[in-house]
């Protein structure tokens, strides 16, 4: 059995969070209460709990020409799905933290990646591997 992950995160504004995941990332909304909401994030469960104590401090590291967020959530998408969603994000005018790009070209783990932020300030990485075996390859 393949296990899906569950993560619970604080949210500044549940309605903006709902709109972003539902309308921008086309995620399904699951169960919800007065101060929380479940999101089906590519088959994984993210629970957002309303919080007024959330800050915007996200540490980054420099790699090549980009500042990559150290803490982030993400999904590994099928090759065609990644290309479809990044095209749609561009058409929708979504602002990227890091534009769609190729990483590790010609090396083990070659992948395409894009980073964006949700309304709570969480960096999200969507990535894809043309060869599925490269996901955990070392060399």
Q: What is the mean pLDDT of residues 106-120?
A: 92
Q: Is 126 within a domain?
A: yes
Q: Do 74 and 42 fall into the same domain?
A: no
CA pair distance 11, 35, nearest whole angstrom: 9
pLDDT of residue 118: 93
Q: Which domain holds residue 73?
A: 69-135
Least confident of 3-12, 24-33, 60-69: 60-69
pLDDT 10s digits, 54-95: 776 678 888 778 888 888 999 999 999 999 999 999 999 999
Looking at the structure, do residues 79 and 130 belong to the same domain, yes or no? yes
Say yes or no: 36 and 74 in one domain.
Answer: no
CA 73 from centre of chain: 5
Q: CA 30 to CA 130: how far, in whole Å?
A: 30
pLDDT of 64:
75
DSSP readout, 20-88?
Answer: IIIIIS-PEEEEE-SSEEEEEETTEEEEEEE-S-------EEEETTEEEESS-EEEEE-HHHHHHHHHH
42 plus 87 within the same structural domain: no
Q: Answer yes or no: is 96 within a domain.
A: yes
CATH of the domain at 37: 3.10.180.10
Judge whether 95 lies within some domain: yes
For residue 101, name the pLDDT band (cuts at 50, 70, 90). very high
Q: Does residue 114 lie within any of the structural domains?
A: yes
Q: What is the pLDDT of residue 138?
A: 78
**Does residue 62 lie in a domain region?**
no
For residue 123, give the DSSP letter: E
The DSSP secondary-structure symbol of 90 reads: H
| pLDDT of amino acid 45 | 96
- pLDDT, position 56: 66
User: What distance in Å separates the CA atoms of residue 66 and residue 91, rounded to the nearest whole number?
Assistant: 23
What is the pTM (predicted TM-score) of this model?
Answer: 0.86
């Amino acid at each position: 059995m393949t296990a899906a992950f569950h993560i619970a995160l604080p949210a500044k504004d549940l309605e903006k969070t709902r709109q972003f995941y539902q309308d921008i990332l086309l995620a399904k909304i699951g169960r919800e209460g007065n101060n929380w909401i479940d999101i089906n994030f590519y088959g994984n469960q993210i629970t957002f709990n309303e919080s007024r104590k959330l800050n915007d401090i996200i540490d980054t590291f420099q790699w090549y020409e980009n500042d990559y967020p150290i803490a982030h959530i993400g999904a590994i998408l099928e090759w065609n799905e990644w290309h479809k969603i990044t095209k749609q994000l561009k058409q929708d005018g979504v602002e990227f933290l890091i534009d769609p790009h190729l990483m590790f070209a010609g090396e083990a783990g070659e992948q395409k990646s894009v980073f964006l932020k949700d309304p709570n300030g969480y960096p999200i990485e969507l990535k894809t591997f043309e060869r599925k075996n490269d996901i955990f390859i070392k060399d």
